[in-house]
Structure 1
């Protein structure tokens, strides 16, 4: 989330800045606490702080969902069945990604699809 913001705005984002934003939005927190959370496993932040981060960064609160354990063997079997070589390669690369990253890429692809005025995904097989 911090990295996405930094890429979008082209400048570093400090824990101090985020702590100020959260406190101003009604979620009081210290920069030291944010630093500790950033280096802990995903899902370590309390629910109220996750809501605050979602609000401050204007992201879907589901971004903070804990990643489920996926069956990579089943995914590999599905990916091997794709006839399109590029799609097969993409599916294999996505197998090792956390679900959160895959969902982020899916959201990005949907945004690009709409920006290019492409048909709804339910109808893309007709192209």
Structure 2
């Protein structure tokens, strides 16, 4: 069981680090824009659903892009036409995030915490 926790912990740390790196790159070397919610997609799972916004924005050179947020919410908080701050990578404008703690940093932080817990559990006696 300890080996399992160690492997899962290392995988969570690796994926969390990759996600954090992508968001840091968008934060440090990207640009900001005001996006508009185009629609809200409902994603169903076994016994729950998640509302994920699809957002359109114009980059610094005037090209329009559309992206689907990386995180959703259980209750739809957004309506089409709503404006929000986004952050995107200049070199890859399709890599964009809603500029909020939850949307940009929720997944990387959760994976890093799970990874640390998994590695710690594998080393505990």
TM-score (norm 1): 0.29
Compare relative contact order (CA 8 Å, sep 6+) and give the higher one, 1 or 2.
2
- Structure with higher helix content: 1
- Structure with higher strand content: 2
TM-score (norm 2): 0.29
